[in-house]
Amino acid sequence: MNLIIMGAPGSGKGTQAALICKTHDIPHVSTGDLLRKNIADGTELGKQAKAFMDAGALVPDELVIALLKNRIAEADCKKGFLLDGFPRNKAQAEILDTITHIDIALNLDTDLNKLVDRMASRRVCPVCGYSTSASLAPDGKCKECGAELIIRDDDKREVVENRLKVYEKNTAPLIDYYKAKGVLKNIDGMQSIDAVNAAIEAALK
């Protein structure tokens, strides 16, 4: 079963991806991880990607697709995979269709206004990595190690709002694309982690 998971920043996509891959014993193919691994391994495609990134440019779709094509040809992808981070727009989805078939596109449907509040209230420990909500740490201290909690730069309200605007602009056509192909499954992403996962598993049956 070849899957795609889509969801706004802060929607819990990473958490659900890990649960799906564990349950179905399929690899989690993240384009970000794929780029980093190829660069670290010094592959030819990795060197090409690094040249673009070092120049502050986006890695071209054709290069990302080449990396994906190599990855999903590996033995552990034979019974399926979960694709995360690609496609990000309709043009990329059309390119992806030239190299593989997608059985189901999971979309974690979320209230973007509530996501802004959720992410802007997130506090992280710079020492041990513990993460919590500001309301659950009124003293501003990490309950694991006692260090002062911080707000990550990408969790600042203005940054979050901009990220979500970009996501909404790029992803709306992508959702329509997979809906038209009859493979889109909308999941209420505002539920608890367990409830979201249960809804995903029901959609995959």
Q: Which residues does 100 contact at the CB level (< 8 Å), separation at least 6?
A: 2, 68, 69, 72
CA atoms 162, 134, 16, 75: torsion sign: positive
CA 137/CA 92 separation, integer angstroms: 41
DSSP 134: G
Q: Are strands 28-30 and 184-188 parallel, antiparallel or unpaired?
A: unpaired
End-to-end Cα distance, the chain: 11
Q: Which helix (H) or strand (E) holds 23?
A: helix 13-24
The rounded distance, in Å, linking the Cα atoms of 34 and 135 is: 36
The catalytic residues are 13, 88, 122, 152, 163
Burial classification of residue 164, based on how many CB atoms lie within 10 Å of its CB (0-12 exposed, 13-18 middle, 19 or more buried): buried
User: How many Cβ atoms are within 10 Å of 57's Cβ, its own excluded?
Assistant: 9
